[in-house]
Structure 1
Amino acid sequence: MVRKTAKAPVKKGHATRKQSDALEDEEDPYKAKNPAHFVRQSAGELKQVVWPTWPQTVSMFTAVLIFVLIMIAVVGVLDFAFGWSLLKLLGAN
């Protein structure tokens, strides 16, 4: 059995531009001209931030704290279990 492959038509009609030309065309609208311009842009972006309310902050902090405490407990139990098992396996007195 002969395998058939699909052949896509490749007709561009124009040459691919050079990489250097493509990089020159891109212009970053956030590129600051000087430090003062950067500070103005940063202040403008910070005005658009939707800051969480105090209850949301407390709720998120509590969730993160509980998660971290659980992870500390899990890693501590695993550390103790592997340490105990290695001491039993290697017969350290």
Structure 2
Amino acid sequence: MVPKHTVKQLNAAPFDVPEKTGQVPKQHARLVNHPAGMRPAQAAQYLGISRWKLYQLIAEDPDFPRPIRFSLRCVIFPKTVLDSYLVVKQAQEAEL
């Protein structure tokens, strides 16, 4: 009788662990790749700021859009709201 598993399967990890290569767990993939919303790291990159600065803006700038919370550890920023925030900030800068 031939075993159904291969050597590769025997050496594989018992569960999938995403490495630090930007892989996203499957349960969050649809949120991360959603065109209407961005996770905090993506929102910070989109705005051209660090994640630390993003959280600082959330805490200190009353005009900065608040994230939508799906669970304790899962939030997204709607892209349209970030775009409108940038338009308002650019208009304020132009007035100065």
TM-score, with normalisation over the residues of structure 2?
0.26
Greater C-alpha radius of gyration: 1
TM-score, with normalisation over the residues of structure 1?
0.27
Higher helix share: 1
Higher strand share: 2
